[in-house]
Structure formats: C-alpha cells, structure tokens
Amino acid sequence: MNLDFSQNHFELFGLPVGFEVDAGALADSYRALQAQLHPDRFATADDKQRRLSVQGASWVNEAYQTLKDPMRRARYLLELRGVTFNDESETSSDPGFLMEQMELREALGEVREAADPMAALDEVGDRILALDRALTDGFEQAYAGDDLMAAKDAVLKMKFFRRLREEVERLEAELEDELA
C-alpha cells in the first residue's frame, strides 16, 4: 500500500483540480481505492499496515464525500488556494440575500396552511433549487475569475441553502406522514 497523504483530494483520485468533477471517474477511483485499502485485506498484516489501511480508507472516504458534494468541493477548492473559513462567526452580510432567506423561511412556515400543502412546498422547493443553482454558477464564475472573496461569499450563502433544502425535506416527510 503506497498512499501519499500529502496529495490533495483531486490528486488522490487522479482528477484535475477544479469545480467540475467527472462523477463517474470519481466513483470509479473511489471504488478502486477502497478495494485496495479495505481493512479486511490487511487482517493478517502487521499493526502498522492495519493502522495505515484504516487511516487510508478513512482519508479516501472523507476525500470522496468532499468532492462529490458541490458545496464541500467549492469550500475545499478555496482552502487549497489559502482561503480560510471560521464556521463559528462567518456568515454572509448581503442584506438582499438575508431578506430573501427570511422570505423563503416565511414561505416554508406558511406551507401547512396552504390549500394544497404539497404543491406549496414544491413551489418553495423549486425557488430554493433555482437560487441554489444560481449561487453555484456564481461560485464557478468567481472562482474561474480568481475573485476568491466573491467565491467565498457564494460558499457562505450555499450553507444557508443547504439548511433550507434540509427543511424542505423534513417538512415534506412530515406532510407525507400526515397525509398517509
């Protein structure tokens, strides 16, 4: 087993560094690395080899999860370029964006009172997806244009949309349970 833990995630999977990732190539490389590193293959090896196999498999899993998720991949790309994040205190301060978030949360809060709650939820969910796609496009443009601060702001905004999408999924499950 020859793993180079100094490689970045893209190098680990043999992919070019960039926001666009070939999902099929990523999955193929992931499966090949996991097969190579699976701890069961090292059951009779010495302690060092077993430990390295567990560490390697864990690293491969984390790298895969990062690259397959657009928001995590965007953040990782920025971190590779030296941009830091403070998850405890950093947030977007764009007043228009914050107002939009409040409106979307209000719309989610009103879904249950709608004549057709599922249709109302679909409408809000579609708005959230469209805005999230626009943010992703904005990240790509800012990153490609070397505007790392605008790219970072896009990532910070993506976090809001991730939470909104999770709220939509949670509400959808609740409504389905109520209607069943």
Tens of pLDDT, residues 64-80: 999 999 999 999 999 99
Q: Tell me, yes or no, whether 129 and 63 share the same domain.
A: no
Q: Which of 92, 36, 70 is nearest to 139 (CA)?
A: 70
Are 116 and 155 contained in the same domain? yes
CATH number for the domain spanning 160: value is 1.20.1280.20
> Is 1 among the domain residues?
no
Residue 147 CB partners (closer than 8 Å, separation 6+):
none
Give residue 42's pLDDT: 79
**Is residue 127 within 8 Å of residue 103, measured between CB atoms?**
no
pLDDT tens figures, 39-67: 777 777 788 888 888 888 899 999 999 99
Q: Are residues 54 and 130 in the same domain?
A: no
Residues, the chain: 180
Same domain? 108 vs 159: yes
Based on the fold, state whether residues 61 and 128 are members of the same structural domain.
Answer: no
Give a yes or no: residue 78 inside a domain. Answer: no
Indicate if 175 and 113 belong to the same structural domain: yes
Task: Give a yes or no: residue 101 inside a domain.
Answer: yes
Is 120 found in the same domain as 55? no
Q: pLDDT per residue over 115-167, tens digit each?
A: 999 999 999 999 999 999 999 999 999 999 999 999 999 999 999 899 999 99
Query: Which residues form the domain of 19?
Result: 9-68
Q: What percent of the chain has pLDDT over 70?
A: 99
pLDDT value for 1: 56
In terms of domains, do 42 and 108 share one?
no
Q: What's the half-sphere exposure (Cβ side, CA atoms, 13 Å) at 156?
A: 20
Domain-located, residue 73: no
Kindly tell me if the per-residue pLDDT of 107 is higher than 90.
Answer: yes
Is residue 110 very low, low, confident or very high in pLDDT (cuts 50, 70, 90)?
Answer: very high
User: Is 83 inside a domain boundary?
Assistant: no
Average pLDDT, the chain: 91
Cβ contact 168:126 at 8 Å: no
Domain-embedded: residue 117:
yes
Structural domains of the chain, count? 2
Residues 56 and 119 in one domain: no
78-99: pLDDT as tens digits: 999 999 998 777 777 788 998 9
Do 37 and 56 meet the contact criterion of CB atoms below 8 Å apart? yes
Is 101 found in the same domain as 174? yes
CATH no. for residue 53? 1.10.287.110
Task: Tell me whether residue 116 is in a domain.
Answer: yes
